[in-house]
Amino acid sequence: MRAEIITIGTELLLGEIDDTNATYLARKLREIGVDLYYRTTVGDNEHRIAEVIDNALNRVDVVITSGGLGPTVDDVTREGIARATGRPLEFSQELFDQIADRFRRFDVRMSENNRRQAYIPQGAIPIENPVGTAPVFILETERGIIMTLPGVPRELKYLMENNMLPWLAARMETPAVIISMVLRTAGIGESQIDARIGDLMTSANPTVGLAAHVGQTDVRITAKAATEAEARAMCEAMAGVVRERLGPWIYGTEGELLEDVVTGLLAKQGASVATVEVGTGGLLASRLCESQPEHTGRVTCLGAYESLDNWALPGVPAHLPPGELAARAAEAARSTAGSTYGIAVIMRADPAGENGTAIATAGEGDTRVRTFHWLNDRPDAHVWATTHALAMLRRFLLKQAEPGD
């Protein structure tokens, strides 16, 4: 079963509120194996609502709307659906009585405009809203199903879980479950990942997709099967293939933060690390210290310099080439602090005037250096640099070789 979610409200288009309803609905549809193909947002305009509903009925089996069911003149979801389906609005005494009863129980006088909420398209199935005043309905047409929900999140969730989901599940020919898992990578770009697993991304079930963030990329695997166990097994099988190809760059799964993984490894080894940074604003040390406060004592910040102009690390001259400077700084940080490991991130302009970053990790008898040539004047450059540094430190702690680009 294919679905489209249409969230209705000019306030959504203006960016005045976040569309949390669509996110919630997408997750609930996934639970019962409904394939969500589209998410659409439209303002409070009858003609445009009718247009998007008409488009949706041309490409999916079920359309779920959210919002526009109130009593005011700009609540025109009912009218938009009627226009899109060619079904006239009809007064439902059953819905009107339910609305009136709600107001009586609230001890509030019902306005005449609330009568508008009792009109639904001809042939629609009225559904009581026991947690609010906006009744909803389901309309089955020859082109597909339309299900309406209020825009108020509390009411939407109640009606979705207690009415709409059971109704949909009962009409699905083959019950199914959709399961997703995420593998989190760092230190490798989206295009590089695509070059390694691009063939897997053409798979129909399970599907494989990418979501890029600053300095890291998530690999999402989604499977659909008759049972949760089958879907999860399909995800795990595909994840095994992805791990074979991206192993050194994968640091965790959904919800895990790279800095938490690194501080967890330090704690497991009973180890410590000293940091030296240039141009990052001390972000590396901050990420390590704030990730798991109970492990803060394992991190020592020996210097967070704005630039090499105020460099003051004893025994390490600032004029060295970037890679050598980072290596010497990491080794000096380790020995000065008496830490198990040292790490240095040097963001600077090279002699040719181009921006570059050098990162080094140091341990007993082992120092590794990598240099990068991204633009240091971009707003998120310090995030990129420290994310790469954490990824390198993680591999260093695990004694993994530095992978080639």
Domain annotation for the chain: domains and CATH numbers: 2-171 (3.40.980.10), 177-253 (3.30.70.2860), 258-397 (3.90.950.20)
Kindly report which listed range (183-192, 196-205, 294-303) carries the lowest average pLDDT score: 294-303
pLDDT band at 105 (very low <50, low <70, confident <90, very high): confident
User: What is the chain's length?
Assistant: 405
Q: Identity (one letter) of the amino acid at 176?
A: A
Q: What is the mean pLDDT of residues 84-108?
A: 86
Alpha-carbon distances of 353 from 208, 234, 349, 376, 378, rounded to whole Å:
41, 50, 6, 12, 15
Strand partners, 260: none
Q: What is the mean pLDDT of residues 376-398?
A: 88
* 330 or 295, which is more confident: 330
The three-state secondary structure class of 34 is coil
Do the Cβ atoms of 277 and 304 come closer than 8 Å?
Answer: yes
Is 350's pLDDT higher than 70? no
Count of CB atoms within 10 A of residue 25's CB? 26
Question: How does the average pLDDT of the chain come out, rounded?
Answer: 89
The three-state secondary structure class of 92 is coil
261 vs 270: CA distance, rounded Å = 14
Could you tell me what percent of the chain has a pLDDT over 90? 60
CA atoms within 13 A on the CB side of 371: 14
As given in the structure block, the two tokens for residue 165 are 């989901």
Alpha-carbon distances of 77 from 6, 12, 83, 95, 364, rounded to whole Å:
10, 15, 10, 16, 68
Q: What residues contact residue 250 under an 8 Å CB cut-off, 6+ apart?
A: 183, 184, 185, 219, 242, 243
Count of CB atoms within 10 A of residue 88's CB? 11
Query: What are the phi and psi torsion angles at 277 (to 5°)?
Result: -135, 145
pLDDT of residue 376: 63
Do the Cβ atoms of 70 and 78 come closer than 8 Å?
Answer: no
The three-state secondary structure class of 371 is strand
pTM for this predicted structure: 0.72
pLDDT of residue 355: 62
pLDDT of residue 375: 60
Do the Cβ atoms of 368 and 320 come closer than 8 Å?
Answer: no
121 vs 111: CA distance, rounded Å = 22
pLDDT of residue 373: 77
Do the Cβ atoms of 230 and 215 come closer than 8 Å?
Answer: no
Model confidence pLDDT, tens digit, residues 163-184: 999 999 888 877 788 889 999 9
Is 245's pLDDT higher than 60? yes
**Angle of helix 283-291 versus helix 381-397 axis, rounded to 10:** 60
Q: What is the mean pLDDT of residues 106-131?
A: 85
Q: Could you tell me the sign of the dihedral formed by the alpha carbons of 298, 302, 308, 310, in that order? A: positive
Do the Cβ atoms of 111 and 71 come closer than 8 Å?
Answer: yes
405 vs 401: CA distance, rounded Å = 12
Do the Cβ atoms of 80 and 49 come closer than 8 Å?
Answer: yes
Model confidence pLDDT, tens digit, residues 15-65: 999 999 999 999 999 888 899 999 999 999 999 999 999 999 999 999 999
